[in-house]
Amino acid sequence: MKSITLFLVAFLTTIFTSGYAQLKTETFKVSGVCSMCKKKIETASKMAGVKSLVWNEETKMAKVAYDNKITSLESIQKNIAAAGYDTEKFKAENKVFKNLPECCQYERSHEGKK
Ligand SMILES: [Cu+2]
Q: What is the pLDDT of residues 25-76, one digit of tens each?
A: 999 999 999 999 999 999 999 999 999 999 999 999 999 999 999 999 999 9
Cα of 34 vs centre of ligand 1, distance in Å, is 4
For residue 37, the model assigns a pLDDT of: 98
- Model pTM above 0.95: no
User: Could you tell me the distance, in angstroms and rounded to a whole number, from the CA of residue 56 to the centre of ligand 1?
Assistant: 12
Write down the domain spans for the chain.
Answer: 21-104
Residue 81 Cα to ligand 1 middle (Å): 14
Going from the Cα of 36 to the center of ligand 1, the distance in angstroms, rounded, reads 4
Pairwise CA distance, residues 67 & 47, whole Å:
11
How many Å lie between the centroid of ligand 1 and the Cα of residue 67? Answer: 28
Residue 76 CA neighbour count, 13 Å, CB half:
31
Give the Å distance between the CA of 97 and the centre of ligand 1: 11
How confident is the model over 5-33, as pLDDT tens digits? 888 888 777 766 665 668 999 999 999 99
Chosen CATH of 21-104 out of 3.40.50.10860, 3.20.20.450, 3.30.70.100, 3.40.50.300: 3.30.70.100
SS3 state at 28: strand
